[in-house]
Amino acid sequence: MKAAVLYEKEDLRIIEDFEEPVMGDDDVLIGPKSTGLCSTDRSLYRGFVPFKPPLILGHEISGTIKEVGSSVDSLAVGDHVIIPPVYPGCDDESCAPCREGLTNRCKRSVFIGHGVHGGNAELIAAPARYSFLVDKKVPLDEVCIVPDAVSTPFHALKSRSMPMHILVKHMGKFKNMAGGHQAGEAKGHPEGHHWLNGKNVVVFGVGGVGGPTINLAAKYFKAKNVVAVDIFDNKLELAGKLGATQTVNSSKYFEDNGIELKELGGRDRSKALSGLAKHISSHLAEDKFQVDLVMDCSGVPDTFAVGIETVSKNRTLVQVGWPPRPVAGFLNQKVMDKYLTITGTWACPMNEMTECVEAVEAGLVDLNLLVTNKDYSLDQFVDAIHDLEAGKILGRATISIN
């Protein structure tokens, strides 16, 4: 089969006759239609993270089932499916994290396109129980971004955004924090039951993950205001189309105030970052500058400090984007003084994937806006990585496989 295979750092080859996957009795054989291009693909290609070669890249996958295992009766040939990039590898979800509901943190997690072969190939085998059926009305060249770019912020907004004191006090009221129904029982949006309904959210970084974060916060979780922060005007323009009520160009803020951030250190740097935070929250003056949630989708170290300054007392900051290096001068006193909840997030638990797919099928995620580049073929995979690095991809790009 044809596949995009990484053999070593920056040595990615399009192989015409790579070995086909072996399918087990509980698996399905999928012919990927499209894959989403993620910064993780770039990190692997550049050798920033270790991998065992040869490795087929691609972890955002949509496709059509070509064959089902002998024990599979939940799916059929011709079905459209997506596969989570991270799914449990333990037996019957029996490890401690899985038993706690954290199937995205299984001790033996399978990471497609990193630990095992990915979807930039004509065929891939996956467990049927972790292959999620998608309505055929949803375009396969768009729904491929749902497994990671959409489901990751979906989980962060749904389950990682609530401050601990609110969670404890309202355990019963918010038992099902997004919808008042068990996953799979009802389709559509949460009818305002999620705690973010009517609240104010600030999103740093309007990219492949930040875009879906803005879209979900505004359309699905019904935030009152979503403030998007980035350094590029074209990304902020996209944020407005996705549901952002206000936008802030942080680079322009420093320029307008004569601040050369790279030349500052210590107290002066902290003062400049604090000034940006006040500027961001000033857009919420009518709500007494209340910022209920900060979602850091940028991964830029300075953003964390600005986020700590931006979020209001007794509220939450979620680290969504992967930080390339540690944060200098961590504001632990500020965290304590403001009584903040700070959480990380990672992928999406299996029980939340169904609800995420339902949101997509109900038209509550603007995939047509989030996928900004569909023109790459499998043969152009390396070109797509270069374009991602050069900032030529506004939202999410997809790779056409079959």
Tell which residue, 269, 273, 266, 270, has the closest CA to residue 250. Answer: 273
Q: In which band, very low, low, confident or very high, does the pLDDT at 325 lie, cut at 50, 70 and 90?
A: confident
Top-confidence residue, 180 or 169: 169
Instruction: Give the per-residue pLDDT at 329.
Output: 66
Q: What is the pLDDT of residues 252-289, one digit of tens each?
A: 999 999 999 889 888 898 899 999 999 999 999 999 99
Q: What is the pLDDT of residues 73-124, one digit of tens each?
A: 999 999 999 999 999 999 899 999 999 999 999 999 999 999 999 999 999 9
What is the distance, to the nearest Å, from the Cα of residue 208 to the centroid of all Cα atoms in its chain? 7
Q: In which band, very low, low, confident or very high, does the pLDDT at 322 lie, cut at 50, 70 and 90?
A: confident
Instruction: Give the per-residue pLDDT at 323.
Output: 79
Instruction: Give the per-residue pLDDT at 164.
Output: 86
Report whether pLDDT(231) > 80: yes
Q: In which band, very low, low, confident or very high, does the pLDDT at 189 lie, cut at 50, 70 and 90?
A: very low
For the chain, give every domain's residue range. 3-148+348-400, 161-344
Report whether pLDDT(180) > 70: no
Are 384 and 401 within 8 A, CB to CB?
A: no
Tell which residue, 349, 340, 339, 302, has the closest CA to residue 321. Answer: 302
Tell which residue, 243, 189, 188, 233, has the closest CA to residue 211. Answer: 243
Specify the DSSP element, H or E, that contains 212.
helix 210-219
Q: Give the strand pairing for 246-249 and 124-127.
A: unpaired
Q: What is the pLDDT of residues 240-253, one digit of tens each?
A: 999 999 999 999 99
Are 318 and 202 within 8 A, CB to CB?
A: no
Q: Give the separation between CA 316 and CA 330, rounded to whole angstroms.
A: 16
Q: In which band, very low, low, confident or very high, does the pLDDT at 400 lie, cut at 50, 70 and 90?
A: very high
First to last CA, the chain: 11
Q: Give the separation between CA 140 and CA 156, rounded to whole angstroms.
A: 24
Q: In which band, very low, low, confident or very high, does the pLDDT at 314 lie, cut at 50, 70 and 90?
A: very high
Q: In which band, very low, low, confident or very high, does the pLDDT at 185 lie, cut at 50, 70 and 90?
A: very low
What is the distance, to the nearest Å, from the Cα of residue 128 to the centroid of all Cα atoms in its chain? 23
Q: Give the separation between CA 274 and CA 280, rounded to whole angstroms.
A: 10
Q: Give the separation between CA 168 and CA 212, rounded to whole angstroms.
A: 28
Q: Which CATH architecture has domain 3-148+348-400?
A: Alpha-Beta Complex (3.90)
Q: What is the pLDDT of residues 45-58, one digit of tens each?
A: 999 999 999 999 99
Once rounded to an integer, what is the mean pLDDT over residues 184-202?
69
Once rounded to an integer, what is the mean pLDDT over residues 158-185?
65
Instruction: Give the per-residue pLDDT at 40.
Output: 93
Report whether pLDDT(175) > 60: no
Q: Which CATH architecture has domain 161-344?
A: 3-Layer(aba) Sandwich (3.40)
Q: pLDDT averaged over the chain? A: 92
As given in the structure block, the two tokens for residue 144 are 């491929």
As given in the structure block, the two tokens for residue 291 are 């910022």
Are 238 and 263 within 8 A, CB to CB?
A: no
Angle at 339 between CA 336 and CA 341, to 5 degrees: 105
Instruction: Give the per-residue pLDDT at 301.
Output: 83
- Angle, helices 233-242 vs 210-219, to 10°: value is 30
Q: Is 295 exposed, middle or buried (0-12, 13-18, 19+ CB in 10 A)?
A: buried
Distances in whole angstroms, Cα of residue 344 to Cα of each of 14, 159, 294 = 36, 11, 12
Once rounded to an integer, what is the mean pLDDT over residues 10-33?
97
Q: Give the separation between CA 212 and CA 220, rounded to whole angstroms.
A: 11
Q: In which band, very low, low, confident or very high, does the pLDDT at 66 lie, cut at 50, 70 and 90?
A: very high
Q: Give the separation between CA 293 and CA 222, rounded to whole angstroms.
A: 13
- Indicate the SS3 state at residue 349: coil
Once rounded to an integer, what is the mean pLDDT over residues 155-171?
88
Could you give phi then psi for residue 32, rounded to 5 degrees? Answer: -60, 135
